Amino acid sequence: MDKKDLQILSLLQRDASIPMAELAEKVSLSTTPCWRRVQKLYADGVIDKQVALCNPARLNVGVTAFVSIRTNQHSDAWVKKFVQGTREIPEIVEIYRMSGDIDYLLKVVVPDIAGYDRVYKRLIKAVDLQDVSSGFAMEVLKTTTALPLDYVGVGR
């Protein structure tokens, strides 16, 4: 990737709906070469997909909970059951396997505490857990889907 590709990525991460002609103009390319570069970024797997980011409050899921999970089971069968069970709960929007004191961290979006309780009950029904601890976001201070581009080519 060169500087033009990084400029394209920076602009697309801010607004993927930008018209190709405008994108090309902003990176000082003509439309066809710019389009080819974007297609290559897709083909190379640099760009995974293009999505619409929705406003959680407008969709009545304005409460975000971060759920820390500890388990004393780490077998393949348990992990498969956990992954299957959590993927079937649409309010769980992110799942991470962690190092340290907790095994898994989940990001859950719900309309209210009662909505969280329903998710919690589905979660503990899906799989045996040793400990579940939840914290609720009081205020969003920063949120972005844009990844930093300063590390491209570093450490290779």
Residue 50 has phi, psi (to 5 degrees) of -115, 130
Q: Per residue in 118-154, pLDDT tens?
A: 999 999 999 999 999 999 999 999 999 999 999 997 7
Distances in Å between the alpha carbon of 28 and those of 7, 31, 32, 35? 10, 9, 12, 13
Q: Per residue in 65-104, pLDDT tens?
A: 999 999 999 899 999 999 999 999 999 999 999 999 999 9
Residue 98 has phi, psi (to 5 degrees) of -115, 165
For residues 123 and 85, is the Cβ–Cβ distance under 8 A? yes
What's the mean per-residue pLDDT of the chain?
Answer: 96
Please, where are the H alpha helices in 44-141? 76-87, 113-126
Strand, helix or coil for residue 20: helix
Q: Which domains does the chain have, with CATH numbers?
A: 3-43 (1.10.10.10), 57-136 (3.30.70.920)
